[in-house]
Chain A
Amino acid sequence: MPTQALFGQLLIGLINGAFYALLSLGLSVIFGLLNIINFAHGAQYMMGAFVAYFCLQWAGLGYWWSLLIAPIVVGAIGIAIERAMLKPLYHLDHLYGLLLTFGVALVLQGFFRHQYGSSGLPYGIPAALAGGHDLGFMFLPNYRAWVVVFSLAVCLVTWYVIERTRLGSYLRAATENPALVQAFGINVPRMITLTYGFGVGLAALAGVLAAPIYQVNPLMGADLIIVVFAVVVIGGLGSILGSILTGFTLGIVEGFTKVFYPEASNTVIFVIMALVLLVRPAGLFGRSA
């Protein structure tokens, strides 16, 4: 086995893992408070990449501005969706939330596909991150190293905010018992809205990070999100640290599978999911129901 190929696949695995982690983190945060699986997450990730593209085309704002603008814009759209459509469904079975976000995903993907086709639009690597380093055993492009480091940092900050700050403690308390937290004078409906916006913003951020690697494509989130669902189930729905760890780990496992048994690289995550569920139905880090 040539080490070059091994490390190359390991890097690809880490990159995929970074996206799995960011996306499953957003899904987990949303699920924790809203109890719905956000099926539109893949579409919102795609919109993040498109906002980056528009920033560059229409306003001449580059990659670094997009990292800031895309999560805010897409997060605001998410907030509008939550207020207008998800809120009336909270008193119903949570599956209706899943079906609604599925419909929203279809609308968004259909719209962008109609406007921009499905072939993908190019988006360049920012000048500051062009080029790469020869590490001796492999060539490491700067941009890819940045994606891994930056998404890891975002994940850790999110984890810190939720697990170690006062705001995070409100959030965790509202996950446990919203009625009681509301009785203490905390505006839970607003917290739910902002949480959804935040989770959606994370997806958009992942979309901006992905734009220079995978191009800007209306369907870029459609199949990815199904894999991320499996990642979330393996990590345990609603578990913050679980989704970060399983995200990165499964990306690497997938990368290694590509080296040693390429036929299974697409299915390995689903196989792991089936095995995990047989042993631990609530996922690796989830609380048992």
Chain B
Amino acid sequence: MSRPPHPDPGVRAPALPARVPERVGEHAGAAASEKSLSIAFAAMVVLLVAAPFFVYPVFLMKALCFALFACAFNLLLGYVGLLSFGHAAFLGGAGYASAHAAKVWAFPPEAAILFGTLVAAALGVAIGALTIRSRGIYFANITLAFAQMLFFFSLQAKFTGGEDGIQAVPRGTLLGLADLRDTHAMYFTVLAVFLLGFLVVYRAIHSPFGQVLKAIRENEVRAVSLGYRAEHYKLIAFVLSATLAGLAGATKALVFQLASLTDVHWTMSGEVVLMTLLGGLGTVFGPVVGAFILIGLENYLSTLGAWITMVQGAIFVVCVLVFRRGVVGELGRLLKRPL
């Protein structure tokens, strides 16, 4: 008599966010959760449309770019359980590409953003193909090393302008219609880009594809045994995340008319981890909230100089130790709704 095989191979520890942020109010039912998400989305759109008339628009644009960056990052860490410590490569790489296209090749803004995004996608395919087989800490380290390669390339290459970066990038005229030198025109362009990226992430998560990603996160061996090619799914998620991070970077370069080394440095990769963690890993709105809080802190504490690094580090420590669900994750738990 041979015993039936154990139903759960259970050879690997669960991936990072497993069982921490989600599952909250899963009993609430798909329809109810979709309804609460729609309400939250509508509230967010209304807030963001009204915001530039009350808050300094440049701050909002910066926060929106980072919010998109964090959403892209969250797609990978929150839903596939892969911690990339090299996402700055996609943000900064796309920034350089779009700044170069707009300034040297005189591309219109929409084409410059598209070009930057495509460059990030290509980077994502190249780096992803080389790294996606590795796991956990190895994956974090290897993506970090690739990002550092790009950092040193940016430091030495001619077209990136080294320490100076690419300055005075023209914003241009969107589709030949709207002059983006006008702050509000620029703001609503950024908002449109952000909402587009946000909806792409939302769609990806709430699709059969997203379900497979979550299955891989929870138990990769089992997903493979059910016939899913886990590596293909992970690679597609990685490229999608890189592309959207690139979209954020390309837009950011036009907003600030600058592409610089800051955006490819590894501290930027750390910052996006912090935004996602603070807002709530594996939540739809968490990265947006995290990005706004962190950019707000940087903005209003900028007089403190080196203290900012300390404050960021302390937030990191607190989040990891006692606040692993993040702001939105905790809120979702209180409301018994996944947000």
Q: Is B291 an interface residue (CB 8 A)?
A: no
| Shortest distance from the beta carbon of A184 to any chain B beta carbon, whole Å | 24
Known: A37-B140, A100-B316. A114 touches B148 (CB 8 A): no
Contact across chains for B137 and A103 when beta carbons are under 8 A apart: no
In the complex, per-residue mask of A209-221: 1 if CB is within 8 Å of any chain B CB, else 0: 0000000000000
Q: Which of B148-162 contact A (CB under 8 A)?
A: 148-149, 152-153, 155-156
Contact across chains for B134 and A277 when beta carbons are under 8 A apart: yes
- Cα of A95 to Cα of B307 in the assembled complex, Å: 26
| Shortest distance from the beta carbon of A63 to any chain B beta carbon, whole Å | 28
Contact across chains for A37 and B141 when beta carbons are under 8 A apart: yes
Contact across chains for A100 and B16 when beta carbons are under 8 A apart: no
Q: Is A88 an interface residue (CB 8 A)?
A: yes
Contact across chains for A271 and B149 when beta carbons are under 8 A apart: yes
Q: Is B317 an interface residue (CB 8 A)?
A: yes
Q: How many A-B residue pairs have CB under 8 A?
A: 132
Q: Is A267 an interface residue (CB 8 A)?
A: yes
In the complex, per-residue mask of B127-154: 1 if CB is within 8 Å of any chain A CB, else 0: 0001001111110111011101100110
Which one of A98, A99, A105, A114 has the greatest number of beta carbons of chain B within 10 Å? A99
Interface size on A, residues (CB 8 A): 45
Interface size on B, residues (CB 8 A): 46
For B16, give its contact among A37, A96, A107, A271 (CB under 8 Å). Answer: A96
For B149, give its contact among A88, A98, A270 (CB under 8 Å). Answer: A270
Please name all residues of chain A whose beta carbon is closer than 8 Å to the beta carbon of B138 when the two chains form the complex. Answer: 233, 237, 281
Contact across chains for A226 and B144 when beta carbons are under 8 A apart: yes
Contact across chains for A233 and B270 when beta carbons are under 8 A apart: no
In the complex, per-residue mask of A71-102: 1 if CB is within 8 Å of any chain B CB, else 0: 00000000000000100110011111011101
- Cα of A271 to Cα of B138 in the assembled complex, Å: 16
Which one of A92, A232, A281 has the greatest number of beta carbons of chain B within 10 Å? A92
Q: Is A113 an interface residue (CB 8 A)?
A: yes
Q: Is B313 an interface residue (CB 8 A)?
A: yes
Q: Which of B56-97 contact A (CB under 8 A)?
A: 83
Please name all residues of chain B whose beta carbon is closer than 8 Å to the beta carbon of A109 when the two chains form the complex. Answer: 309, 313
Contact across chains for A267 and B313 when beta carbons are under 8 A apart: no
Considering the complex, give the chain B residue whose CB is closest to the CB of A265: B152
Please name all residues of chain A whose beta carbon is closer than 8 Å to the beta carbon of B13 when the two chains form the complex. Answer: 93-94
Contact across chains for A113 and B15 when beta carbons are under 8 A apart: no
Known: A270-B148, A274-B130. A103 touches B142 (CB 8 A): no
Q: Is A134 an interface residue (CB 8 A)?
A: no
| Shortest distance from the beta carbon of B6 to any chain A beta carbon, whole Å | 19
Contact across chains for B140 and A98 when beta carbons are under 8 A apart: yes
Known: A93-B14, A277-B130, A277-B142. A110 touches B313 (CB 8 A): yes
Contact across chains for A274 and B307 when beta carbons are under 8 A apart: no
Contact across chains for B308 and A110 when beta carbons are under 8 A apart: yes
Please name all residues of chain A whose beta carbon is closer than 8 Å to the beta carbon of B312 when the two chains form the complex. Answer: 103, 106, 110
Please name all residues of chain B whose beta carbon is closer than 8 Å to the beta carbon of A266 when the two chains form the complex. Answer: 152, 155-156
- Cα of A109 to Cα of B270 in the assembled complex, Å: 14
For B310, give its contact among A99, A106, A270 (CB under 8 Å). Answer: A106
For A104, give its contact among B16, B308, B317 (CB under 8 Å). Answer: B317
| Shortest distance from the beta carbon of B137 to any chain A beta carbon, whole Å | 5
Q: Is B198 an interface residue (CB 8 A)?
A: no
Besides A93-B15, A110-B311, A274-B142, 11 new A-B residue pairs in contact (Cβ under 8 A), listed by A number: A93-B14, A94-B136, A99-B320, A100-B317, A106-B309, A106-B313, A107-B309, A113-B306, A233-B138, A263-B156, A270-B148
Residues of B within 8 A of A (CB): 13-16, 18, 83, 130, 133-138, 140-142, 144-146, 148-149, 152-153, 155-156, 266, 270, 273, 277, 305-317, 319-321, 324
Write 26 A-B pairs (CB below 8 A) sorted by A numbering. A85-B321, A92-B324, A95-B140, A98-B137, A102-B316, A103-B312, A103-B315, A103-B319, A105-B313, A106-B312, A107-B317, A110-B306, A110-B309, A110-B311, A111-B310, A113-B309, A114-B310, A232-B141, A233-B138, A233-B145, A237-B137, A266-B156, A274-B145, A278-B130, A281-B133, A281-B134
